[in-house]
Amino acid sequence: MFAVGRRISKHIRITSGPQILLTSSVPSGRKFNAMNSITSAFVPNAAGDAPKQLEYIPNLKLNDRNEIPLLGYGLGTANFKRKGGPAFDEKVVNNTITAIRTGFYHLDGAEAYGNEAELGAAIKRAGVPREKLFVVTKTSVLPGETIELAFSRSLEKLGVDYVDLYLIHHPFWASSPEDQSAKWAEMEALKESGRARSIGVSNYIEKNLAPILATAKYPPAINQIEFHPYLQHGDLLEYHRKNGIAVSAFGSLTAITKAAPGPVDLIYEKLAKKYGVGPGEIALRWVLDQGVVALTTSGSEERLHGYLTKLPAFKLTPREVEEISEAGKQKHFRGFWNHKIAANDHR
User: Which of 300, 253, 242 lies closest to 48 in space, CA to CA?
Assistant: 242
Beta bridge partners of 293: 248
Please tell me the distance from the alpha carbon of residue 128 to that of residue 2, in angstroms, as a whole number: 12
Catalytic residue among 113, 166, 204, 268: 113
Please tell me the distance from the alpha carbon of residue 117 to that of residue 282, in angstroms, as a whole number: 33
Q: Say if CB 226 and CB 254 are below 8 A apart.
A: yes
User: What residues have CB less than 8 Å from 17, skipping those under 6 apart?
Assistant: 59, 66, 67, 68, 69, 134
Q: Say if CB 10 and CB 31 are below 8 A apart.
A: no
Secondary structure class of 260 (helix, strand, coil) = coil
Residue 169 marked as a ligand binder: yes
Burial of 299 (0-12, 13-18, 19+ CB in 10 A): middle
User: Which of 60, 51, 54 lies closest to 16 in space, CA to CA?
Assistant: 60
Please tell me the distance from the alpha carbon of residue 221 to that of residue 224, in angstroms, as a whole number: 10
Q: What is the DSSP letter of 44?
A: -
- Between vectors from CA 285 to CA 120 and to CA 315, what angle results, nearest 5°? 130
Please tell me the distance from the alpha carbon of residue 153 to that of residue 306, in angstroms, as a whole number: 35
Burial of 193 (0-12, 13-18, 19+ CB in 10 A): exposed
Q: Say if CB 97 and CB 251 are below 8 A apart.
A: no
268 catalytic? Reply is: no
CA 280 to chain centroid:
16
Q: Say if CB 236 and CB 347 are below 8 A apart.
A: yes
Please tell me the distance from the alpha carbon of residue 74 to that of residue 298, in angstroms, as a whole number: 9
Binding-site positions: 169
- The residues carrying an active-site annotation are 113
Binding-site positions for substrate: 169
